[in-house]
Amino acid sequence: MAPPMKPGAAVTQAEQGQGYSSASVEAGSPVAVLGYILRFAAVVLALVAAIVMGAAKQTAELPISEDLVQILTVKAITVSAFKFFVAANAIACAYGLASLALSILSRGASRNLALVLTLLDLVMVALLFSGNGAASAIGVVARNGEGNVWPNLCNIVGKACGRITASIVLSTFAALAYLLLVLFSVLGFHSRAKN
């Protein structure tokens, strides 16, 4: 129950029991601004990660014998795990743009929207971490090789491997931004439940 109000005192959304999630705070509050910044960062990081992975390719000469050289072109987007990674980051980017717009336009007016955004943020965390895991598994095999089945490709196409690694790191930061949004929302819901 909220404490009694003095006449003429402004009632904030936290006092009304709406907590502080990224979508249920006053638009200019520090928590709301942090939520907007995290959403924007997640959008940019996911977009750049998808672009870098999609553009990661390199052509190199692979000596077969003294007289024979094979031209090897490696394109990350031809590997299904990397395709999933790009799709996951594109989805997270599109969702991030939509949720950022909704967060700004709603200005904390709806607790239901806050709950929906929190659940969808959690879905984005899972989607991005699964894409990162798939891409990382293939990246580790490309970097270290896999016995006699798959040689170490990063010694040959190191530039492409570097881009793949950079893309995975960027996507991991995007996933962490969504995870922080979820944590802030859960803290807001928890503080609301205590009141």
pTM tops 0.75, yes or no: yes
The pLDDT mean for the chain works out to 83
Strand ranges, E, within 36-191: 57-63, 69-75
CB atoms within 10 A of CB 109: 14
* Domain boundary assignment for the chain: 30-194
- Segment 53-109, tens digit of pLDDT: 999 988 888 778 888 888 878 888 889 999 999 999 999 999 999 999 998 888 766
CA–CA distance, 92 with 86 (Å, rounded to integer): 10
Closest CA to 114 of 171, 174, 187, 165: 187
Express each pLDDT in 11-53 by its tens digit: 444 444 443 444 445 556 777 789 899 999 999 999 999 999 9
Taking the alpha carbons at both ends of the chain, their separation in whole angstroms is 6
